[in-house]
Structure 1
Amino acid sequence: MDIINKLNPSTSALHEVGQRAECIEGTRKEILDNIMNWAGDGSSTTMTGYWMCGMAGTGKSTIAQSVCLGLKRKGLLGGEFFCSRQIEECHDYHKVIPTIAYQLASRNAKYQQALCDVLNEDLQLASKEPQYQVTKLLIDPWKRVVSRGESPFLAPVIVIDALDECRDISLVLEFIVPAIKKQELPGLKFFLTSHPEQHIKKHFDLDAIQQERLYVQKFYLHNVEKSIVKKDISLFLGKGLIGLGISKDKLDILVERSGALFIYAATLVKYLASGGHRASSRLEKVLNVKGSPDKIQTQMLDELYTQILSDSLDKLSPEEQDQSIRIIHTVIMTGTPVSCQIIADLLDYKVQDVKATISELQSVLYTSGPEETI
């Protein structure tokens, strides 16, 4: 039986497709070591799920790419699905489970046979909703593999990157996360990444996980100690701009400007390194905080944030859009962390309306504390 035709997997969602960057050697070392140690831990007490959450531009997809390459070298890569804003078929939530099932089948002969049996019983599974796909394409055939004695010491890892870029991904998470938590896929591990958006966060409720002693651990990338991020970005910029002879004091300024955003650092490298004879003048423009940046200087960052804001605002009514834009402007203009209540008081809005806007934009607006300081 032709499994490809039966499953119709996405060939564009693989980590090897396109210009996917990996972490520069020496950067993100502690984070990558932590993930790879988790992947290689075969003890019965280790978590079977690992959710890495981070704001836009903090480097999640680059880390996920490096994780895939590291897992592949160790023979631990079970399958992957890289959601991509640029590739339309990666937006389809129906593709996620069939693509993972296809990759597992190509790497495990016993699972392939079990999957073929399931597909022979129902040829339409690949087009059905996730509640059927998770059970019929993953849980049932995988349990047959385990029941036949296939329980490897080192569990293969499934990597799903950028959940937030896949439309209606909640419909998949609603069924795959409980399966991970309840260990219904023994011998498999899942590494997931996303923005801290509410429709995704709700599936990884920390209190419920701790209370039920379930099997998913969380890691907030944007909360990584600033000194570690600063060191990594300094190394990244130093290697990326090595041919320009930039002095250490100027490089330190670029590091500070980047903050915790690797995408900003990557934008700087692309802008300056491609400048040729204009590199020096471009550097001075970047260092001149009073000057206005060229569009090309911030293009990558602008495109990312514009898309996130558009996706959020497009779902709202005209009145709600206007309200949200005023809230965003106010957050930016305060110039210092403030609570949702203060924003509400300044605009004479209801605090729940402010919280709604902030919740929808947690990919680009950092919040902390019990009173949701922005």
Structure 2
Amino acid sequence: MPDAFYDSSARDPPPSCHPGTRHDLIDTITSWGLGTSQHTEPMLWMYGPAGVGKSAIAQTCSEGLAERNKLGAALFFSRSVGLHKRDDPHRLFPSLAYQIATKSKPFGDILDSRIQDDPTLVTKSMREQFQELLVKPLSQLGPGAAGVVGGLVVIIDGLDECGKGPGMHCDIIELVATSVRNRTTPFRWVIFSRPETHIVGSFTTNDTHLLTYQLEIRVSRKIDNEITLYLTDGLRKVHQRNGLPDSWVSERDIGILVNLSGGLFIYASTVIRFIGSHESLGPVDQLRAVLALASDNKGAGSVHPLSELDLFYTLIMQCVPPGPKPVWKVLYLFTSRFLSAGTIATLERC
């Protein structure tokens, strides 16, 4: 599944942390991966709700560890559509084995020989793949080659976006944890996911809990200063790209956008893309439309962390140009069972 690799062109540009942001979390994970942290657990689970920047942190850590020759493999699951399928759990372990083979020629030679002898290894069950493509080739390495792969970091991002449902997620965690417990894989394993009930359950069982360093990312206004930095730099690029006057955005405007973001980087990044879109009414009008959400949302009384994001996405849909709207029809196909009769009637007239 090469489209899901950390350096794949299919993900270019990948989500990554803006310079000067999330440095505390990046440093924590990187030092753990390098073996310089006080935490010695061989597994790390970073979890948090949608929009807090897990994939950006995973990407930035992947790049940093790769620069230090400590990244064994990194794979980013995503519920993607179209040509780039990145949610197939049966391609996880072949993908990881392939990446590790590019880091260690002895491992690659053993793996290549095994697959030539039995090409069906890559189509077997996930449990068999793990044994045949990782555990057994690793057991055949000599002391020198084993030392090279020992301690490499393997990153799996978006476990909750892996297809086939909760059972498959739990199976992946169990396979990794069992190999760590039995010392059949020498890697440091990092898994990023949302705190889905079944995933929480898998990581909090007694055996796995003792092996895992757990890090939670919460929706928090404590990162407002980082979101301010991100928005300021992003709007500066929009300003330079479009030749806008210096007065087009004020510090007060940025403060409103920070408040609207509500501690979610996904809100801030979507705002920058929306304002800077080439197919729009222009940055100034786009900015004013977003700022108007601050007054539209007053008195809503909602404390849900994604309520502001919901309102923003509603604005984006309202900005679809007039005329035939295939985007509405596509949404209708996927969401018609959740829409009211009046809404469906409106969409069907489009």
> Conserved in 2, the CA contact under 8 Å of 1:42 and 1:153?
no
Partners of 1:77 and 1:66 lie apart in 2 by: 12
2:215 pairs with 1:219: yes
| 1:185 matched residue in structure 2 | 185
Partners of 1:44 and 1:222 lie apart in 2 by: 22
Work out which of the residue numbers 286, 290, 293 in structure 1 matches 2:290: 286
> Conserved in 2, the CA contact under 8 Å of 1:267 and 1:298?
no
> Conserved in 1, the CA contact under 8 Å of 2:31 and 2:37?
no
Q: Secondary structure at the match of 2:215?
A: strand
| 1:261 matched residue in structure 2 | 264
Distance 1:157 1:294, change over 3 A: closer
Report how many aligned residue pairs link the two structures: 293
2:53 pairs with 1:59: yes
Unmatched runs of 5 consecutive residues or more in structure 2: 240-245, 298-310, 318-332, 341-350
Partners of 2:150 and 2:31 lie apart in 1 by: 11
Equivalent pairs: percent with the same residue?
27
| 1:21 matched residue in structure 2 | 15
Partners of 2:173 and 2:183 lie apart in 1 by: 15
Unmatched runs of 5 consecutive residues or more in structure 1: 1-9, 300-309, 326-374
Partners of 1:77 and 1:238 lie apart in 2 by: 32
> Conserved in 1, the CA contact under 8 Å of 2:290 and 2:312?
no
Partners of 2:48 and 2:312 lie apart in 1 by: 27
CA-to-aligned-CA distance 1:40-97 (integer Å, 9 cap, x gap): 1168972221111121111111111111111111111111211122255322111000
> Conserved in 2, the CA contact under 8 Å of 1:71 and 1:77?
yes
Deviation at 1:27, TM superposition (A): 0.8
| 1:119 matched residue in structure 2 | 115
CA-to-aligned-CA distance 1:260-297 (integer Å, 9 cap, x gap): 21111111111223378743333333222344867584
Work out which of the residue numbers 243, 249, 252 in structure 1 matches 2:252: 249
> Which amino acid letter does the alignment assign opposite residue 29 of structure 2?
I
2:228 pairs with 1:237: no
Deviation at 1:118, TM superposition (A): 3.5
Deviation at 1:121, TM superposition (A): 5.1
Partners of 2:145 and 2:66 lie apart in 1 by: 23
> Which amino acid letter does the alignment assign opposite residue 112 of structure 1?
G
Partners of 2:137 and 2:38 lie apart in 1 by: 21
| 2:135 matched residue in structure 1 | 139
Distance 1:154 1:131, change over 3 A: closer
Distance 1:295 1:33, change over 3 A: closer
Alignment of 1:1-374 (within 5 A): 10-17=1-8, 18-19=11-12, 20-41=14-35, 46-86=40-80, 89-120=85-116, 122-145=118-141, 147=143, 150-152=146-148, 155-168=151-164, 169-170=168-169, 171-186=171-186, 188-205=187-204, 208-210=207-209, 213=210, 215-222=211-218, 226-227=221-222, 229-242=223-236, 243=239, 245=247, 246-274=249-277, 278-288=282-292, 289-291=294-296, 297-298=315-316
Q: Secondary structure at the match of 1:151?
A: helix
> Conserved in 2, the CA contact under 8 Å of 1:50 and 1:217?
yes
Partners of 1:58 and 1:194 lie apart in 2 by: 11
> Conserved in 1, the CA contact under 8 Å of 2:77 and 2:86?
yes
Cα RMSD, aligned residues only: 3.3
CA-to-aligned-CA distance 1:226-259 (integer Å, 9 cap, x gap): 31x2122111111111226522222112111111
> Which amino acid letter does the alignment assign opposite residue 196 of structure 2?
E
Partners of 1:105 and 1:15 lie apart in 2 by: 16
Distance 1:63 1:146, change over 3 A: farther
